[in-house]
Amino acid sequence: MVVLNRIYTRTGDDGTTALGSGERRPKHDLRIAAYGTVDETNALIGVARLHLAAHPDMDAMLARIQNDLFDLGADLSTPDDGVDRGFEPLRIVASQVARLERDIDTLNAGLKPLRSFVLPAGSPAAAHLHVARTVCRRAERMMVELAGRDGEIVSPAAIKYANRLSDLLFVMSRAANAGAGGDVLWVPAAGRE
């Protein structure tokens, strides 16, 4: 599917890049920014995985998710505009969203109910998972904004996937902290004098 034997092509030196459809767009285009932010989420998940030796179940989930995020990037880079491209573009499907929901339910079942907001802190694994979560939320916001623009198509399954993934990353951060002192809870107005 992909052959990378030459890393630089010089085709982007003019400030444009190609979509999966072959169409060239400016590198600051919202579609490019959206799948670039998905890629950023993927890289942050890779960093979080470095801190999950004590949680092989979550590491395995994240390994699968990193592959899914390439699917999501491919989905976003080839808009579903009905044009026959001679190949079936890769799309996020409902079963990938359902898998995230099962993972959320599995991890959340062992956690105490929340009675406060959680600060993005605690163990290194939890802190990195929170960073990945916030970047995933940014990707989701960009995808929703893109879907709202005339002529732009973003599949509902792709948006759902980003939404569920950020939820899963939140639950994973809680699970990582559960064995390391628990959640770091928000204390309203704690900084007031």
The string of pLDDT tens digits covering residues 136-153 is 999 999 999 999 999 999
* Average pLDDT rounded to a whole number, residues 76-95: 89
Write the CA distances from 23 to 61, 77, 80, 132, integer angstroms. 34, 10, 13, 30
Task: Assign 131 a pLDDT band (cuts: 50, 70, 90).
Answer: very high
Q: What angle do CA 181, 128, 34 make, to 5 degrees?
A: 145
Q: Is the pLDDT of residue 135 over 90?
A: yes
Residue 1's pLDDT is 60
Decide: helix, strand or coil at residue 176. helix
pLDDT, tens only, 1-60: 667 777 787 878 888 898 888 889 989 999 999 999 999 999 999 999 999 999 999 999
What average pLDDT does the structure give for the chain? 93
Query: Which pair of tokens denotes residue 81?
Result: 């505009």
Give the global pTM: 0.93
Residue 109 to residue 179: CA distance in whole angstroms: 15
Other Cβ atoms closer than 10 A to 88: 6
